[in-house]
Amino acid sequence: MGFLKVVSLEEALKVIESFGIEAKVEEVPVEEALGRVLAEDVRAPIDVPPFDRATVDGYALRAEDTFMASESEPVRLKLVGQINAGDIPEIKLEKGQTVGISTGAPLPLGADAVAMLEEVEVEGDEVLIYKPYYPQAGVMKAGTDIAKGAVVLKAPKRLTFKDTALLSALGYEKVRVFRRPRVAVISTGNEIILPGEELRPGSIYDINGRAITDAIRELGGEAFFLGIARDDEDSLREKLLEGLKYDMVILSGGASAGVRDLTSSIIEELGKVHVHGIAIQPGKPTIIGQVDGKPIFGLPGYPTSCLTNFTLLVAPLLRRLLGLSGEKRSVRKRLAHKVFSVKGRRQFLPVRVEGEEAVPILKGSGAITSFVDADGFIEVPETVEILEEGEEVEVFLF
């Protein structure tokens, strides 16, 4: 077979690192940026508000004109116009003058306060002011909300509706985000059929293709399920070549050793197999190769094993490309019951998280119900045979 390149998990991760695949940045319209990861800090290109604006409906005035006003001796100001929201203020307010103003409208030159509609009386072209207004009453000064040049969003950050709204409020049409890796997903195995096909004796419906495709989408990547490659050279080569149109290819293995060797030999023919087998349980059948600079992952066929190796090997790469390396992906829980392992074997056990407990799932990685129940997995190091009930464990989440 010739491809026995069994390495430790750490060595496998170094191999992936050595591919030198860098996160890429692209510019997208803000209206399509929801959920994308910001690649560069954003500064305010303008003051917000961009001008001194009225925060109430009322009358713009010069505060100093009102200092002597009282309930019994109102000050009378001359009404010289009206400014509505959206108007360009062309009036300059002289001593003793006022203009009607609506909420959100820009203050005219000379004005520095706004009297609320409810607090004044209007008599003809005069407005009666019954109390003194301090400068800035009823006014939001330009730049007091956000000052031009201030950093308003720090990268990396997955953009929420509040972030896209903020970008819009600052006048940004576009924003620089990490490019989503485009991943081809292929299932392999003569026994695997697609939903909609008739269930022949000996065949089972695909689970890994859908699982990996949608797991990548949940993470924020773009995934394309190319269907199923049969266990023959031509079918596998054809699918793999189709997959190489994308940034990365993930094959989920046929169940048997023969298919894995076939996959390995086709990758070797087109490029290079760097890893064939990782010294963890499950992970022996895992293949890491590279063709035309693009990483190819061959994952085990059993659903839980497939997902565990995806989480250990592929997800960290995808998260790095998506700008999300910093996200914490594990939680500390207490083991719900004792677990036996085999000394000398580094094992990753699927667990379900229930409140503060991690409940080991012992149905076997071939069972679909294990896959469905598991929230993540725990590591049992080579040197450990027994993990005790109540022991603190780190759960790596899918």
Residue 27 carries which DSSP code? E
* Interaction between residue 362 and its own copies (CB under 8 A): no
Residue 281 carries which DSSP code? B
Comparing CB distances to its own copies, the nearer of 197 and 327 is 197
CB 29 within 8 A of CB 164: no
Q: Which of 41, 218, 354, 392 binds its own copies (CB under 8 A)?
A: 218
Q: In angstroms, give the least distance from the CB of 364 to its own copies.
A: 7
Structure tokens at 161: 């509706």
Q: What is the total count of residues that contact its own copies (CB under 8 A)?
A: 84
Q: Which of 77, 93, 127, 167 binds its own copies (CB under 8 A)?
A: 167
Comparing CB distances to its own copies, the nearer of 46 and 279 is 46
CB 158 within 8 A of CB 218: no
Q: Give the Cα separation of 54 and 355 in Å (integer).
A: 51
Q: In angstroms, give the least distance from the CB of 382 to its own copies.
A: 20
Structure tokens at 24: 């890429």
Q: Give the Cα separation of 288 and 254 in Å (integer).
A: 16
Q: Which of 1, 122, 199, 386 binds its own copies (CB under 8 A)?
A: 199
Taking Cα atoms as reference points, which of 161, 57, 75 lies closest to residue 115? 57
Which helix (H) or strand (E) covers residue 295, if one does? strand 294-299
* Interaction between residue 105 and its own copies (CB under 8 A): yes
Structure tokens at 254: 């046929």
Name residues contacting its own copies, limited to 314-353 (CB under 8 A): none
* Angle at alpha carbon of residue 122, lines to 121 and 127, rounded to 5°: 90
Q: Which of 145, 357, 382, 391 binds its own copies (CB under 8 A)?
A: 145
Q: Which of 74, 106, 220, 243 binds its own copies (CB under 8 A)?
A: 106
CB 53 within 8 A of CB 114: no
Comparing CB distances to its own copies, the nearer of 147 and 386 is 147
Q: In angstroms, give the least distance from the CB of 85 to its own copies.
A: 4
Comparing CB distances to its own copies, the nearer of 180 and 294 is 180
Taking Cα atoms as reference points, which of 66, 144, 138, 48 lies closest to residue 102? 138
Q: Which of 124, 195, 326, 355 binds its own copies (CB under 8 A)?
A: 195
In the stretch 17-46, what mask flags binding to its own copies with x, by CB under 8 A?
A: -------------xx--x-----------x
| Single-letter code of the amino acid located at 82 | Q
Name residues contacting its own copies, limited to 122-141 (CB under 8 A): 140
CB 65 within 8 A of CB 113: no
- Torsion angles phi and psi, residue 217, rounded to 5: -65, -40
* Interaction between residue 209 and its own copies (CB under 8 A): yes
Name residues contacting its own copies, limited to 236-295 (CB under 8 A): 254-259
In the stretch 44-83, what mask flags binding to its own copies with x, by CB under 8 A?
A: --x-xxxx-x-x-x-------------------------x
Q: Which of 156, 271, 303, 350 binds its own copies (CB under 8 A)?
A: 303
Q: Which stretch binds its own copies (CB under 8 A): 126-134, 160-168, 335-343, 347-355?
A: 160-168
Comparing CB distances to its own copies, the nearer of 215 and 378 is 215
Listed in sequence order, the DSSP H helices in the chain are 9-18, 161-169, 208-219, 233-243, 257-270, 303-309, 315-321, 368-373
